Amino acid sequence: MNGMSRLAAELDDLGGADITGALEELPVRSFVVDGEGVVRWQNAASLAAIGDWAGRKWYEVVSENQTQELEAVVRRIICSGDPAELTFDVRESGGVTVPREISAAPLREGGAVVGLFGVSVPVRSQGAQPAPEGSRLTQRQLEVLQLLAEGKSTQQIADELVLSKTTVRNHIAHVLANLGAHTRVQAVIAASKAGLVRLPPPEER
């Protein structure tokens, strides 16, 4: 019995408890996006924080320089059926943008991915520097980049940032693309020249 089957069985054992009501009352921002990337549902926490986005493209909720990246993430989840963890600067209802960690998983109908369900929480990392003005890198990508500059492996970065290795690899791929680099070393060199990372002294590398 897989995880969802066990969940259904447990809910049935509880007298057919409805999980949707719990999701609506969850203090963590939650949302549903369809296969076209259109927001179909938000819980109360999400509505209070960013307003009603129903019927609008989900990628429009992030800062302008990240819309294409989020759109690509939605397409990747829909096409691959794999969950994703990412960090984006989200537009709040007051007009400011705030970095948020987003976890999204595919929604399936008859085996086909028809949309995704996601939750959004504040960035957990303390002391992270905000992305420089005009930078196309998110705060999380800058953290990954700094750890690369310190010589950390994918597994070490995943452990330090409490992410999956797949998520770290996705962040690294975005970093390389945004810096026009083909290797991690090239990315670190380019980032160092741009003042995006601090290279440790030789004896610490």
| Tens of pLDDT, residues 125-182 | 444 445 555 557 888 888 899 999 888 899 888 888 877 888 888 889 888 888 888 8
The boundaries of every CATH 3.30.450.20 domain in the chain are 3-122
Give the model's pLDDT for residue 39: 94
Side chain identity at residue 56, one-letter code: R
Q: How far apart are CA 178 and CA 160, in angstroms?
A: 23
The fraction of the chain above a pLDDT of 90, given in percent, is 17
Q: How far apart are CA 38 and CA 8, in angstroms?
A: 27
29: left (phi over 0), alpha (psi -120 to 50) or beta: beta
Rounded average pLDDT over 40-56: 92
Q: Pick 139-204's CATH classification: 3.30.1060.10, 1.10.287.130, 1.10.10.60, 1.10.10.10.
A: 1.10.10.10
Q: Pick 3-122's CATH classification: 3.40.50.970, 3.40.640.10, 3.40.50.720, 3.30.450.20.
A: 3.30.450.20
| Nearest Cα to Cα of residue 155 among 165, 145, 143 | 165
The boundaries of every CATH 1.10.10.10 domain in the chain are 139-204
| Tens of pLDDT, residues 21-34 | 888 888 889 999 99
Classify residue 128 by its DSSP letter: P
Q: What mean pLDDT value characterizes the chain?
A: 81
Give the confidence band of 201 by pLDDT, cuts at 50, 70, 90. low
The fraction of the chain above a pLDDT of 70, given in percent, is 86
Among 76-85, 140-149, 172-181, 195-204, the least confident range: 195-204
Position 15 pLDDT exceeds 80? no
Q: Which residues, including other chains, have CB under 8 Å from residue 44's CB and lie 6 or more apart?
A: 24, 25
Rounded average pLDDT over 184-204: 80
Rounded average pLDDT over 182-193: 88
Structure tokens at 62: 């992030």
Q: Which residues, including other chains, have CB under 8 Å from residue 65's CB and lie 6 or more apart?
A: 134, 135, 136
- Higher-pLDDT residue of 136 and 120 is 120
Neighbouring CB atoms inside 10 A of 48's CB total 11
